[in-house]
Amino acid sequence: MRTPSGPGGRPRSVRVRAPGKVNVSLQVGPLRPDGYHSVASVYLAVSLFEEVTATSTPGTGVTVSLSPASTLDVDALEIPLDERNLAVKAARLMAEMTEDPTGVHLTITKRVPVAGGMGGGSADAAAALLACDALWGSGLSKEELAHVAAELGADVPFALLGGAAVGLGVGDQLSPALATSRFDWVLVPADFGLSTPRVFAELDRLRDEEGIAVPEPIDVEPAILAALRTGDAGGLSHLLVNDLQRAAIGLAPQLRDTLGWADSHGALASIVSGSGPTIALLAPDAASAEDLAAELAHRGVEAVAVHGPVPGARIVSDTVL
Ligand code: ATP
């Protein structure tokens, strides 16, 4: 078991990084009586990473701050820095499961757009879980950590796992998918966020209005898994699906501009990521992704070239201060 702090009670700091995700496929069922929606989703972890540093503090309790090293403008972010913060929730849950935890301060380096449909908050929660587990020597198994992650939110188990995975249930019933080749993407964040519950509600409203009754999604399209398995970006480009896309566009019609631009400028396909508003463009290769990102930047549109799959939450450093 690791010691909770360094020699002589000196503070210890564990830094963990965890990836954001895009949904390569996201089918959404009807509103369930419990207020949730069943989904059938294929997650892909991409190389845009959140970092959480957990530093032991005297006493007890969990505090949090945002790092100035963040690539996002942290002063402008609408992120609660109290017990509502997903990383704080994760640390508190770990403290409950740990004998004699120290206090902890969490420093979050934000890179994944907030309320962007890429699971940034979930990545912070997964990173905080792993960091506190190491800091306090909680000794939870992978399965136990995944169980705690699911309590924190539907996307948290995937941020722990990483790679590519099929998500059923509310997205939390995960099975890893084989994806050994690299897929290149360009992410186009928006300068506004979309609330995930609001996007789901808009989809329900549109379906009601159109009298569309959808079945519960049972499984994902096998061809998507085959394209991931064989590294076939061209094949995958014809199979990208996101049921939430039209709801996100209904709430933010300007998303059409980037989607339309991408299709006529060399992207294989473009899709709203999760509940949006971040847009993910699938590129044929790394060089094309860099070119697309540069062209967008030239037009004054923020864009970042990434690739996936990448691993889930991992310890980057463990230091006695
Ligand atoms: P989802 O996983 O629901 O698709 P998202 O990726 O669209 O979410 P997040 O960046 O995870 O969006 O944030 C959703 C909301 O969660 C934000 O509006 C924010 O107020 C709240 N939140 C709580 N903790 C965090 C955190 N550590 N980072 C970002 N947002 C957080």
Q: Please tell me the distance from the alpha carbon of residue 244 to that of residue 103, in angstroms, as a whole number.
A: 40
Contact 20, 46 (CB under 8 A): yes
CA of residue 196 to ligand 1 center, whole Å = 9
**pLDDT, tens digit, 9 for 90 and up, residues 252-280:** 999 999 999 988 888 999 999 999 999 99
For residue 6, what pLDDT is reported? 60
Q: Which domains does the chain have, with CATH numbers?
A: 11-315 (3.30.230.10)
**pLDDT, tens digit, 9 for 90 and up, residues 140-164:** 999 999 999 999 998 999 999 999 9
For residue 5, what pLDDT is reported? 62
Query: Which residue CA neighbors atom 15 of ligand 1 most closely?
Result: 115
Contact 157, 149 (CB under 8 A): yes
For residue 2, what pLDDT is reported? 45
CA of residue 101 to ligand 1 center, whole Å = 26
- Indicate the pLDDT class of residue 137, thresholds 50, 70 and 90: very high
Radius of gyration of the chain (CA): 20
The sign one gets for the Cα dihedral 248, 253, 255, 256 is positive
Point out the annotated binding site.
Answer: 113-123
Q: Please tell me the distance from the alpha carbon of residue 57 to that of residue 182, in angstroms, as a whole number.
A: 40
CA of residue 222 to ligand 1 center, whole Å = 30
Contact 106, 53 (CB under 8 A): yes
Give the CA distances from residue 311 to residues 34, 102, 163, in Å, rounded to whole numbers and listed in that order.
Answer: 33, 29, 5
Of the given ranges (2-6, 30-34, 52-56, 192-196), which has the lowest mean pLDDT? 2-6
Which two tokens mark 27? 């089918």
Count Cα atoms within 13 angstroms, Cβ side, for 171.
28
Which two tokens mark 241? 């699906």
For residue 17, what pLDDT is reported? 98
Nearest atom in ligand 1 to 112's CA:
10
Give the CA distances from residue 135 to residues 32, 132, 200, 307, 314, in Å, rounded to whole numbers and listed in that order.
Answer: 39, 5, 37, 30, 13
- Indicate the pLDDT class of residue 115, thresholds 50, 70 and 90: confident
> Full-prediction pTM beyond 0.85?
yes
Q: Is the pLDDT at 90 greater than 60, yes or no?
A: yes
Give the CA distances from residue 39 to residues 92, 117, 257, 258, 307, in Å, rounded to whole numbers and listed in that order.
Answer: 28, 15, 27, 26, 24
- Indicate the pLDDT class of residue 8, thresholds 50, 70 and 90: low
Full DSSP string of 242-299: ETTHHHHHHH-TTHHHHHHHHHTTT-SEEEE-TTSS-EEEEESSHHHHHHHHHHHHHT
Give the CA distances from residue 162 to residues 123, 132, 176, 311, 313, in Å, rounded to whole numbers and listed in that order.
Answer: 10, 19, 9, 5, 7
Q: Find tokens 């014809």 and name the residue.
A: 238
What average pLDDT does range 174-198 have in this prediction?
94
- Indicate the pLDDT class of residue 77, thresholds 50, 70 and 90: confident
- Choose which residue among 106, 114, 198, 275 to substitute to test ligand 1 binding: the one with the highest number of ligand atoms within 8 A of its C-beta: 114
For residue 78, what pLDDT is reported? 86
Point out the annotated binding site for ATP.
Answer: 113-123
Residues lining ligand 1, Cβ inside 6 A: 78-80, 84-87, 108, 114-122, 124, 155, 193, 196, 274-275
Residue positions annotated with a catalytic role: 21, 155
- Indicate the pLDDT class of residue 310, thresholds 50, 70 and 90: very high
Query: Which residue CA neighbors atom 16 of ligand 1 most closely?
Result: 121
Q: Is the pLDDT at 4 greater than 90, yes or no?
A: no
CA angle 150, 154, 155 (to 5 degrees): 105
For residue 212, what pLDDT is reported? 86
CA of residue 82 to ligand 1 center, whole Å = 14
Query: Which residue CA neighbors atom 30 of ligand 1 most closely?
Result: 121
Q: Is the pLDDT at 61 greater than 70, yes or no?
A: yes
**pLDDT, tens digit, 9 for 90 and up, residues 117-132:** 999 999 999 999 999 9
Nearest alpha carbon to residue 233 among 174, 293, 186: 186
